[in-house]
């Protein structure tokens, strides 16, 4: 077997497959939570258990909250299909707050 090129599912002990490239990782900060930075990432899926993960984030954020057009660009991402972006929370409180307000 060759050196693995993708993440490995620890539960299933099998390489994961690329599911989607160019998924946005929305890094949350503060309370109430706000999108702080956005990174391009790749989504992988385990073909056995179905677990999905993000891996790889490029060198630089594609959006940073203080950029002049950040709100507009973030709004465009949030209008995309739900499988194209993933919120990344710092804690469960942020996640619960956003879930209540959706």
Residue closer to Zn ion by CB (options 17, 80) is 17
| Contact stretch for Zn ion (CB under 5 A) within 2-10, 28-36, 60-68, 70-78 | 2-10
For Zn ion, how many residues bind (rule: CB under 5 A)?
Answer: 6
Nearer to Zn ion, 55 or 91 (CB): 55
Compute the least distance from the CB of residue 19 to Zn ion, in Å: 13
Parallel, antiparallel or unpaired: strands 63-64 and 34-45: antiparallel
Q: DSSP label at 4?
A: P
The first and second tokens of residue 89, run together, are 């929370």
Q: What binding mask, one character per residue, do residues 21-50 give for Zn ion by CB under 5 A, x or -? A: -------------------------x-xx-
Beta bridge partners of 21: 42
Q: Could you identify the residue written with the tokens 């620890």?
A: 10
The least CB distance from residue 88 to Zn ion, in Å, is 21
d(CA 67, CA 32): 20
Question: What number of residues does the chain have?
Answer: 102
Least distance (Å) from Zn ion to the CB of residue 42?
17
Q: Write out the two tokens for 22.
A: 């160019």
Is 20 or 73 the residue whose CB approaches Zn ion more closely?
Answer: 20
């Amino acid at each position: 077997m060759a050196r693995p090129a993708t993440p490995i599912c620890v539960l299933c002990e099998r390489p994961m497959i690329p599911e989607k490239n160019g998924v946005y990782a929305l890094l949350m900060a503060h309370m109430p939570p706000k999108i702080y930075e956005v990174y391009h990432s790749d989504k992988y899926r385990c073909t056995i258990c179905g677990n999905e993960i993000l891996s790889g984030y490029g060198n630089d954020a594609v959006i940073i909250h203080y950029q002049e057009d950040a709100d507009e660009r973030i709004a465009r991402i949030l209008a995309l299909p739900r499988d194209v972006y993933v919120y990344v929370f710092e804690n469960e409180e942020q996640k619960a707050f956003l879930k209540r307000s959706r």
